[in-house]
Amino acid sequence: MSIDKTDSAGTAQTSVDAAPAAAGASVTAVDPRLLVREQGFAGYISEFKRKIKGGDLGAIPVVIGLIVICAIFQSLNSAFLGAENLNNIFVAMVATGMMSVGIIFVLLLGEIDLSVGSVSGVSSAITAVLSVTHGMNEWLAVLVSLAAGAVIGAVHGFFFARVGAPAFAVTLAGLLFWNGFMLQILGSNGTINLDSDGVVGKLTTYYFSDVAAAYGLAVVAVLAYFVPSFLANRRREAAGIPSRPLSDLLVRTVLLAVGVFGVAVIFNNYKGLPLAVLLFGIVLVGSDFVLRRTSYGRKVFALGGSVEASRRAGINVTAVRISVFAIAGLFAAVGGLFWASKIAAANQGAGSGDLLMNVIAAAVIGGTSLFGGRGRTWNALLGVLVITSIQYGLALQGIATPIQYMITGGVLLATVVIDSVTRKTQKSAGRA
C-alpha cells in the first residue's frame, strides 16, 4: 500500500511504500510535481486521472456548475453577464459568504451550527439599538455586536464541548433563544432604521470609484500568489525536494491574472471596486491562512479526522471546539451587519427565511465535507457564487421564490451525494 504524506496545501510531498495488508502488488502514488517535471503536459493528464480514480475531485464540479449556470442564464437573458448584474451578485453574496466562512470551521469538525441565522439577527439588532436608540458611537456599537456574536458562539461551544450536549440540539436551542432575544430588544416597533451613510450602511453601498483600486487589487492578488510560490519552489530546489517547474507556476499565475483582472474590468465598468467584496477577500485570505498555515488550523483538521487520536496527540479538544463555535458566532455577526447594510435597518425578519439553509449550502456546495476533516474557506466563495447566481438568474426570468428553493435544494442534494460517493471512492483507493 502507498501512503501519501501531504503538506498543509494538500499537495503530496512523499510516498512511502509499505507492505500491503492483503496479497497483491503495491501501488505507488507519485508526487504530482515530479510527474509535471518529468513528463510535462502528459504529467498533468496522469495526475488528473490519478485524482479522479482516487475520488479527489476538488473544485472541478463547482467550477463546471458555475460555467453551466452562467451559460444557461446568459442564453435566457443577455443581461445576466452584464456589469451591473454581476456587480449585484458579487455584493449580494458577501453577507451569506461571511457567515459560510464561519460555518466551515464547524463543519471541519463534523458538527453543525443551526444558530448562525439568529445570531446574525442579534448582531444587527444590538448595533441598531446601541447606535440609534442609545446614541452610542456606531463604531463602538459594531465592535460590541461582533464581540457578542463571538461570546454567543463560545457559549454554544461550551455546552457542546464541556457539558457534552449534541451540537445539533445546543444550536437548535440557540436558534430559538436568540431569535426571541432579538425580537425582545427590537421592541414593539420591530424595525430600527440605520443611517445609510454610517459605518454599517456603507458596507454594501460604498465603491472605490478610481479604476486604479480594482486593477491595483488585481495586481496585488497576482503578486501575492506568484512571489511566495516562486520563493517556496526555490527553497525546495535548494533542499533537493521535488518542486513544480517555473513553467507550471507561470501558467497558474497567468490563469489567476486572467480571472482577477476580468473581475476588475467588470467592477470598473459599473461603479468601481465594492468595499464589501474587498472585505470578503481579506477575510477569505486571512481565514485560509489560519486554517492551512498555523498550528491552530492543523488542530481543527485533526479533530475532524479523529477526536480520540487528537486527544492522544496532546490537543486540547475542548478549547479547540469552543473556539471553533466562537469563530462561527463571530462570522455570523459579521454577516448580520452586511444584511442590515443591504436594507439600512435591523428588523424582525433578520436571520430568518432561507438564510441558514443558504449558509450551510454554500459551504457544502463549495466543497466542504459534511463528514468533517475536508474543506477550505475558499469553498465559501465558490458555493455562495453558485447559490447567488442561481437566485439572480431565476429572478431575471421572473421565477417564483418556491421554485428557487426547489432548485437550490436540488443542487445541495446533488452536492451531498457527490461528497458521499467521493468519500467511498477515496476509501476504496486507500486515500481516506
Tens of pLDDT along 209-224?
999 999 999 999 999 9
Instruction: Give the model's pLDDT for residue 411.
Output: 76
| Cβ neighbours of residue 278 closer than 8 Å, sequence gap 6 or more | 208, 217
Q: Which residues sit opposite 347 in a β-bridge?
A: 191
Q: What is the pLDDT of residues 243-274, one digit of tens each?
A: 777 888 888 899 999 999 999 999 999 999 99
Sign of CA dihedral 262, 264, 268, 272: positive
Instruction: Give the model's pLDDT for residue 4.
Output: 44
Going along 164-222, which residue ranges are E strands?
Answer: 191-193, 207-208
Instruction: Give the model's pLDDT for residue 410.
Output: 81
Instruction: Give the model's pLDDT for residue 51.
Output: 63
Instruction: Give the model's pLDDT for residue 251.
Output: 86
3-state secondary structure of 55: coil
- What's the rounded Cα separation, in Å, for the pair 267 and 274? 8
Instruction: Give the model's pLDDT for residue 429.
Output: 55
| Cβ neighbours of residue 182 closer than 8 Å, sequence gap 6 or more | 118, 121, 122, 125, 348, 350, 351
161 DSSP assignment? I
Instruction: Give the model's pLDDT for residue 415.
Output: 72
The DSSP H or E segment spanning 17 is strand 12-17
Q: Could you tell me what percentage of the chain is helix, strand and coil, using 3-state DSSP and rounding each to the nearest 5?
A: 70, 5, 25
Instruction: Give the model's pLDDT for residue 22.
Output: 42
DSSP string, 176-240: HHHHHHHHHHHTTT-EEE--TTSTTGGGTT-EE-SHHHHHHHHHHHHHHHHHHHHHHHHHHHHHT
3-state secondary structure of 28: coil
- What's the rounded Cα separation, in Å, for the pair 58 and 257? 21
- What mean pLDDT is reported for the chain? 84
Grid cell 533537493 is found at 240
> Is residue 207 a contact partner of residue 264, using CB atoms and an 8 Å limit?
no
Which residue, among 311, 307, 305, has the nearest Cα to 426 in the 3D structure?
Answer: 305
60-76 and 378-396 helices, crossing angle to 10°? 20
**β 207-208/191-193 pair status:** unpaired
Instruction: Give the model's pLDDT for residue 338.
Output: 96
Main-chain phi, psi angles of 116, to 5 degrees: -60, -35
3-state secondary structure of 3: strand
> Is residue 350 a contact partner of residue 339, using CB atoms and an 8 Å limit?
yes
Instruction: Give the model's pLDDT for residue 187.
Output: 85
Q: Round to the nearest angstrom and report the end-to-end CA distance of the chain.
A: 13
Grid cell 446601541 is found at 130
Q: Which amino acid is at 50?
A: R
Grid cell 525546495 is found at 236
Which residue, among 410, 334, 331, 349, has the nearest Cα to 107 in the 3D structure?
Answer: 331
Instruction: Give every residue of the chain whose pLDDT is below 70, as ranges.
Output: 1-58, 419, 422-432
